[in-house]
Structure 1
Amino acid sequence: MNKKAIDVLAPFSVEQAEIVREQIRKTSVSQQIHDALRRRILTLELAPGENLSRNEIAVYYGVSQTPVRDALMKLEEEGLIDIFPQSKTEVSRIDVAQARETQFLRMSLEIEIARRLAAAREPDRIAAASAILARQRTAHEAGDLTYFADLDRTFHRELFKAVGVGNLWELITDRSGHIDRLRKLNLPDPGKVSEILDYHERILGAIADGKPELAEKLVREHLSGTLAQVEQIVARHPEYF
């Protein structure tokens, strides 16, 4: 245990300190399982409607059922699973209304972020996002859609961080399970990846050129893309809704 952890536990008795350590361990394991299951849900490896067994998950990850229970409760709070007491637990269907709600929040924030960055006229603030865009192009050329999608989220997170509101990105992420799964279904569509790259480049260009109105317009168009295709996505994958 490092010095900082020892200092934190110093006010406690030996028995109390051990309880705190156990809580830290449980929290860490629970968070790791939550993150692993969440990623599998967002990538559709665990499909909407699929049953989840607490016991099987515990065996799979080699842990007790307690951290699994805690992880599942958090996933339920995020709307990614449905728990039916004394019955079953399953991955939630994609909720289009909730996806629209989350997208409304994200668009409101990201439009303001783009406007502020453009008005600031400080190109260095978007250097990190520009570097991510270059890596996205490489992922596209390699045909790696999973990595491309990860980089897509990182690109937008860097814009939030550029104006000092990175914590708001985490807030949106906690609510974005439904829209993220919609994007996962939309990403393989012909021309979608090229369209994303084009918008990212043009958004950064508008910011670098100090054009807030253009930056706002491009962000609005970019973030509306998947929901504009929602009827076609639902028609292709009705079992997920």
Structure 2
Amino acid sequence: MNLNLQAYTTILKKIINTTYTPGQKISEKELIAKLKIGRTPVREALLRLRQEQLIDAIPQSGTYITKIDLKVAASARFIRESIETRVIKEAAATNDEFAIAKLNTIIANQKFFSQKKQFEKFFAEDEAFHQEFYQMTGRQQVWDWLQTINMQLNRFRMLRLKVEELPWDNLITEHMNILNAVKNHEPEEARRLIANHLHLMLDEEDTLIKTFPDYFTNIPTDKKQVL
């Protein structure tokens, strides 16, 4: 990994997992010191992150992590649901025992990380679970494309894992049900389950806004009453 990509990947990860919180001020000088990477790669990384609307440079003030844009996150969820409901139906028509075994392992890993409250590793397994269906159906490139529009959505999903009243066990149970539908070759049931699963953002939005009122922008008018 070249230094530009290394700097970008490291900072991006800290934004997605909310190590750098929405609205937090960051310093190029401090990033250089912490990452132990030269000024040019860090500047290139910050420029790319600014283009992706994950950081904002305000004149006479400084550089800040952008707040989570709920409108962008909701649009990404809509696109992902539209695509993934088709992918899951294709997956349910396959007979890939290796993929099924891999998915079972992912769920086992999720249970372990849930017990340990290791939310970053839990999230990584969550991503791996969904990605596997794209791989099963030869749609890996589609998954890669989705990652370019999923950043605000992933920030929302990662933050969700930090809310105590939104237990992780529910996510695991839904994954198990989705896997069973795929394993039993039930495409319509798999489609219904994945649609409900990806609908969670809308169901849980009020709770996250109430818990982290300063972390979001473009809050829908009907949601502002929860603040």
Match of residue 134, structure 2, among 135, 154, 160: 160
2:183 matched residue in structure 1: 208
Match of residue 237, structure 1, among 212, 215, 219: 212
Q: Which has more radius of gyration?
A: 1
Match of residue 118, structure 2, among 144, 155, 160: 144
Match of residue 65, structure 2, among 64, 72, 91: 91
Distance 2:65 2:166 in 1: 29
Is the alpha carbon distance of 1:129 and 1:237 closer, same or farther for their aligned partners in structure 2, counting shifts above 3 Å?
Answer: same
RCO greater where, 1 or 2, for CA within 8 Å and sep 6 or more?
2
- Superposed, which structure 2 residues align to 1:20-99 within 5 Å? 28-84=2-58, 87-99=61-73
1:225 matched residue in structure 2: 200
Identity %: 28
Q: Any conservation in 1 of the 2:99–2:132 contact (CA below 8 Å)?
A: no
Shift of 1:196: 0.6
- Superposed, which structure 2 residues align to 1:87-126 within 5 Å? 87-126=61-100
Paired residues, number = 215
Unaligned residue ranges in structure 1 (runs of 5+): 1-26
Shift of 1:192: 2.7
Aligned alpha-carbon RMSD (Å): 1.8
Q: Deviations over 1:46-94 (max 9, x none)?
A: 1111112222212222232211111112212222111235652110011
Q: Which has the higher helix share?
A: 1
Unaligned residue ranges in structure 2 (runs of 5+): 217-227
Is the alpha carbon distance of 1:127 and 1:77 closer, same or farther for their aligned partners in structure 2, counting shifts above 3 Å?
Answer: farther
Q: Deviations over 1:91-120 (max 9, x none)?
A: 001100000111111112211111001122
TM-score relative to the length of structure 2: 0.87
Distance 2:123 2:188 in 1: 27
1:10 matched residue in structure 2: none
Look up the equivalent residue of 1:92 and give its one-letter code: T
Q: Any conservation in 2 of the 1:52–1:89 contact (CA below 8 Å)?
A: yes
Q: Any conservation in 2 of the 1:186–1:192 contact (CA below 8 Å)?
A: no
Is the alpha carbon distance of 1:123 and 1:76 closer, same or farther for their aligned partners in structure 2, counting shifts above 3 Å?
Answer: same
TM-score relative to the length of structure 1: 0.83
Q: Any conservation in 2 of the 1:121–1:209 contact (CA below 8 Å)?
A: no
2:149 matched residue in structure 1: 175
